[in-house]
Amino acid sequence: MAVNLVAALAEAVAIPVVRHRDRAIAETGSRLLARHGFAAIELTFTIPDVAGLIAQLRADAPDTLVGAGTVLDASAARRAIDAGASFVVSPCYVDEVAAECRSQRVAYIAAGATPGEILHCWRAGAPLVKVFPARQLGGPGFVRAVRAVFPDIPLMPTGGVGLDEVADYRSAGAACVGLGELFPAHALERGDLAAAEVAVEQARRAIRAGS
């Protein structure tokens, strides 16, 4: 299962990270991303009732991998998994989240910011490791350096990654990237669904062209 997940995320190239305090905006944006062909989407626990949204998106877009992000304790992990999350993501390694995911046989993508943390996540069972915050750590250059010493560890840089940097991260050895920029928050906040549609479709085309 872990190998299949890594392959699916690598094929998806860019994973939209949906983070918003307004559930309705998060829901609209998530549906929009799924409808425009993004194969995997991460919904963070900063969204009100994110477990309910995970369940809804799984039902509405059964071919989309839906992950839970910013999962910081076992209770949140359990709610995400019960809602049908395909994978669980944290901004660091959390022992109790790892234990819950292990017991439920759901992939846990923990994050590291140093070579030691990245290796720890991998040895603890993460099928791939989130590199966070990627931009502040040095961007593609950091990923390239880590891959040089850990060529067998798939990496998912996230945090400050720009749409125009996806190809650079992939060239540096990233399996895939997490991209908050793909969620058209500003257009949706203005109530401009047409602009949000255009932004998402343009982003999808740019990613496919660059990969």
Active site residues: 42, 130
- Phi and psi for 111 in degrees, rounded to 5? -115, 150
Cβ contacts of residue 103 below 8 Å, gap of 6+? none
Say if residues 169 and 177 touch (Cβ distance below 8 Å).
yes
| 190 close to 208: Cβ distance less than 8 angstroms | no
Sequence-ordered list of residues with C-beta below 8 angstroms from that of 41, at least 6 positions apart, any chain: 15, 16, 18, 30, 33, 34, 57, 64, 65, 66, 67
Run of H or E including 88: strand 87-89
